[in-house]
Structure 1
Amino acid sequence: MKLPTMSSAQMSALLLSLLLAGSLTACGGSDSSTIEETPADDTSSPDDSDDTVIAEGSTDGVLCDYINSTYNESASVYNTSNSEWSCEDGIRDLVANGIPDHAVGQFPNANNPNYIYEQDISANFTLMPTQTDTATTLGGPRGTLGYVLNGVKIDASTAGTCDDSGDDCSMIGNEGNWNIEALGQSSFNFGTDDNNAHVQPTGEYHYHGMPEGFVTLKGGSNSSMTLIAWAADGFPIYARYGYSSADDSSSALKSIAGSYQLVTTVSSSRPSTDIYPLGTFSQDWEYVAGSGDLDECNGRVGVTPEFPEGIYHYYATDSYPFFQRCVKGEI
């Protein structure tokens, strides 16, 4: 077949059009262009002193080889605290015995009759947590909120309730309409120690609020953010301090506050506030957006030392709800 004859001007125009087409494809003008990413598995896991990741949305590489074996000489324990975290195939696994690795109060005590016993703890969390707009309530029979790195459970709520009259209250009944808080009230004493923890009838030591002894062991202070736990949805939990500007790691650290306030209108069916002051029951608190630093699940999106690109994360706070009562990630 005989090719058509082109003039020099036509040949120059053809070459120019070919060059322009190639230029547009290289700038993303073609849907067929491919960007190759380095898989997270191809990066070596850093040790605890440099637990940072670059992959947005992934927690792989952060505290994936955390192993604790600490003999606890507290009179209530005299046992070894064991917890082992590992990461494989998109899952963060925990195997632990539930024994705390820090000093604890006296158990049993006058308000908590239970001894601390070893537990058989096995839990797993996704390494690719996904934030949603849905708050899923967890805690107690509705599922564990998360575990501190030492393998001790987080369980901020209680099974204690009162009926509407306030005359029939039980620390373990879980049958009344008004749920008693373990912390921040003086009407009931659940026998918690200085770690805001006590012991369930099964012998399981667990935290209702800031795990002070563990935070101290981890070197927590107002000069650092301290990752202390993993939530049930796979997102990290930090203790007390965060950046004053959530997206700026150069901003000053401050004590992070929850966004719950005491209700302004008291239900007519509530037990008398003369007997049980506001704050005694979970229903005494309501989420007020913007009144603190966090959302209804005690979390926010921001940068952290371990996640410099930013991630959704929770806080243990000195204000209500102390630990999150819900999670924002898929579970």
Structure 2
Amino acid sequence: MKIYKPMGIMMITVAVFIACKKDKQTTDSTATSTLTTPSIGANVPAVFKKIYNATDIYVEGDYVVIKTNSLPDHKSPYYQGTAWASTKYEAYNGTNPLWGQNPNKIAENDATFKIPLNPKVAATHTATPLGAMGVAVNGVAIFNQYAAMYSPLTNEANGFDQYGGHPQQQGVYHYHVEPYYITTNKGKDALVGFLLDGFPVYGPLENGKTITNADLDVYHGHTGVTADYPAGIYHYHITAADPYINGNGFYGTPGTVSQ
């Protein structure tokens, strides 16, 4: 599937630096698939079962625990030279004339997201971190609107592949912006994932309208009914402009992520 998204931005830079454990990329030359079927524990709410590319999902006290291997289920130029290249490598076929592939390759990296089962607005809002601030429904990490040292994404975005992601130095593939593979296959108004505070992230469309930053609060969300939450819930939206997924910190109290 080819997805063409222009990124009118300057030059490529190296990937985001985050502290992360050593690569765990497999050396098994027979590895061809990156799609996993999650083991789902008892009492997991139905909405979390939409996370289709995790290894484990279960409830632990007041938290939902989501374990992933960080491997995107879609193709990417960043699978070049990996154990999955025969089935997952795809040359860049987007429309960004300034595209430049960063030097990193996708690597398997176990991640555990522990997020509130019943999220609530925080009394004190905390900033989102560099590194994973949430998880997409395909098990890929969601990062905030900054490159290394809290720099704008202006240059780094030229290294985003045709599906809107790229790997950082340790090989952890992630999205800073709209994950086009998900929104194309699930719908522009579909659930995209969850941030660490437990509030859901939806695509750029709501009730047939394209959401802009002007429709959202400083945390890049608003409260309303969604297909998954008919009684209404605070939720984030992806937009085409900075900050793309999240704004001035988490709306709720974040859980944890370990990698």
The alignment's TM-score, normalised by the length of structure 2, stands at 0.67
Partner of 1:329: 252
1:66·1:86 contact (CA, 8 Å) conserved in 2? no
Q: Which runs of 5+ in 1 are unaligned?
A: 1-58, 70-81, 161-173, 244-252, 259-291
Q: Does residue 1:227 correspond to 2:191, yes or no?
A: yes
- 2:210 counterpart (249, 255, 258): 255
- CA apart distance, 1:93: 1.1
Partner of 2:68: 96
Partner of 2:48: 64
1:136·1:327 contact (CA, 8 Å) conserved in 2? yes
- CA apart distance, 1:62: 3.1
Matches of 1:295 and 1:67, distance apart in 2: 26
Which of the two has higher C-alpha Rg?
A: 1
Gap change, CA 1:107 and 1:64, over 3 Å in 2: closer
- CA apart distance, 1:133: 5.7
The letter for the 2-side match of 1:101 is D
The alignment's TM-score, normalised by the length of structure 1, stands at 0.53
Matches of 1:195 and 1:237, distance apart in 2: 17
Instruction: State which drifts further: 98-107 or 306-315.
Output: 98-107
Partner of 2:169: 201
The letter for the 1-side match of 2:137 is L
2:78·2:166 contact (CA, 8 Å) conserved in 1? no
Matches of 2:179 and 2:104, distance apart in 1: 19
Q: Does residue 1:125 correspond to 2:115, yes or no?
A: yes
Partner of 2:102: 112
Gap change, CA 1:139 and 1:194, over 3 Å in 2: farther
- CA apart distance, 1:110: 4.4
Q: Which runs of 5+ in 2 are unaligned?
A: 1-42, 81-98, 255-259
Matches of 1:86 and 1:312, distance apart in 2: 23
Gap change, CA 1:322 and 1:128, over 3 Å in 2: same
- CA apart distance, 1:150: 1.4
- 1:149 counterpart (131, 137, 141): 137
Matches of 2:211 and 2:46, distance apart in 1: 23
Gap change, CA 1:114 and 1:140, over 3 Å in 2: same
- CA apart distance, 1:88: 4.6
Superposition RMSD in Å: 2.5
Which protein has greater RCO, CA pairs closer than 8 Å, 6+ apart?
Answer: 2
- CA apart distance, 1:190: 4.5
Matches of 1:62 and 1:133, distance apart in 2: 28
Superposition misfits of 4+ residues, deviation over 6 angstroms: none
Gap change, CA 1:135 and 1:301, over 3 Å in 2: same
Gap change, CA 1:67 and 1:323, over 3 Å in 2: closer
The letter for the 1-side match of 2:225 is V
Pairs within 5 Å for 1:155-166: 155-160=143-148
Pairs within 5 Å for 1:1-331: 61-66=45-50, 68=52, 82-106=54-78, 110-132=100-122, 134-140=124-130, 144-160=132-148, 174=149, 179-182=150-153, 185=154, 190-218=158-186, 220-221=187-188, 225-243=189-207, 253-258=208-213, 292-325=214-247, 326-331=249-254
